[in-house]
Chains A and B, each alone.
Chain A
């Protein structure tokens, strides 16, 4: 699903990390298994990574590794949801979502006192997709419903949310990695949101205070 790749060699060179570190982080699940993409090249098998995501991840690990243990980091990066519940006030205070989004979310689901992780993720995704400006409120409802329906199946997997449009018709889908989707030419991809990354950002915000 990734457009640009970086080879392991180039990655080590650019970030200055060692083989030992890379393998250790893989072992500790700080780097997801499905980011290791094997390809044949003229010198034999080589490993590639999704460029943007791995560089971002490595920088994050490097900046946090002195203050956090590897296990803590693994928790943060894991696509498995954290066990937590936040009150509506805290959701706003930690800037997880804006008041507008929260109000709109309440319209859909009814008012809520405390948010569990799955609800937090729903409202966070809602904020993200509305913020792109690429979809309307009504369309966002489709995404919310789909996310609520499939949340259980998507747990622990790294997957991407796609919102597509064709001739005024809109729908959304979730694609779990590793996998690729190809569309016919009339399809417009309005939104492409990696959920694993949304989860990671959300956890960062939750743990921020």
Chain B
């Protein structure tokens, strides 16, 4: 693709533009784009609504944005707010702001330090979260690495290595006791290596399972080793 021949689209202030193929797209101010966009870089700094599909090598949102169609990016960085009505696909997805996805998310690397809500499944090679997330379906990644600073939940979590740790920072919650602790909630967690802290799950399956402090698990099935912390509740565990 020859991006040199494409023109830039720069909207500042309030305006409306048609979709199309561009080189660089900058949307600041309050704007609306009607139609699909394909571009090399897209930056949303103000408040923008895009009524179509978006395909961009680099996409940055620092303002507030609404994408009515699906979104495909090489790198997607959201420091502000993004609402994506359809699927979101990105090689690298960095979220320090607030993201809501109406359907599925897939990528290679996902890092969440803000907040991510996905209505359906979320798949990646690595999923790292230090913020909060809510996933309506399956969270599927080779490596799931979660440090809990906020409440998080997923219907199911599956992968090779699943690590959930308690955030180290001082929090009033911990000081106030267990009831206020930030927790991860999931129906089922399955992985080859599962290490959990502060997790509430109905079923945990794995080869080597470590249930750390603050966990409450209904049933653990394992076929290698198991370790249960004194400060964890496991109602049932069984070697398969």
Q: Which residues of A contact B (CB under 8 A)?
A: 9, 13, 18-24, 26-27, 43-45
Contact = CB atoms under 8 A, between A and B. Distances in A.
Interface residues of B, number: 23
A201 B221 CA distance: 37
Nearest to B106: A27
Contact of B240 (A9, A19, A20, A21): A9
A16 to B, nearest CB: 11
B140 interface: yes
A19 B188 contact: no
Contacts of A44: 187-188, 202-203, 218-219
A43 B160 CA distance: 23
B111 interface: no
Given A9-B240, A18-B207, A23 B160 contact: yes
A19 B161 CA distance: 9
B159 A19 contact: yes
B233 to A, nearest CB: 16
B142 interface: yes
B117 to A, nearest CB: 20
A45 to B, nearest CB: 6
A19 B203 contact: no
Name which of B158, B205, B240 has the most chain A CB atoms within 10 A of its CB: B158
Given A18-B207, A44-B202, A44-B203, A23 B159 contact: yes
Contacts of B160: 18-21, 23-24
A45 B160 CA distance: 20
Given A43-B203, A44-B218, A44-B219, A19 B190 contact: yes
Main secondary structure of the interface of B (DSSP, over half): strand
A78 to B, nearest CB: 15
Contacts of B158: 19, 22-23, 26
A19 B123 contact: no
B206 interface: yes
A69 to B, nearest CB: 14
Interface string B188-224: 1011100000000011011100000000001101000
A27 B140 CA distance: 7
A20 B142 contact: yes
Contact of A18 (B188, B192, B219): B192
B123 A20 contact: no
B187 A20 contact: no
B144 to A, nearest CB: 10
Name which of A13, A19, A21, A43 has the most chain B CB atoms within 10 A of its CB: A19
B218 A23 contact: no
Interface string B136-177: 000011100000000000000011110000000000000000
A19 B240 CA distance: 14
Given A20-B159, A23-B140, A23-B160, A45 B191 contact: no
A81 B84 CA distance: 29
B93 to A, nearest CB: 15
Contacts of A22: 158
Nearest to B123: A27
Contacts of B190: 19, 23
12 contacts: A18-B160, A19-B160, A19-B191, A19-B192, A19-B207, A20-B192, A23-B158, A23-B160, A24-B160, A27-B140, A44-B187, A44-B203
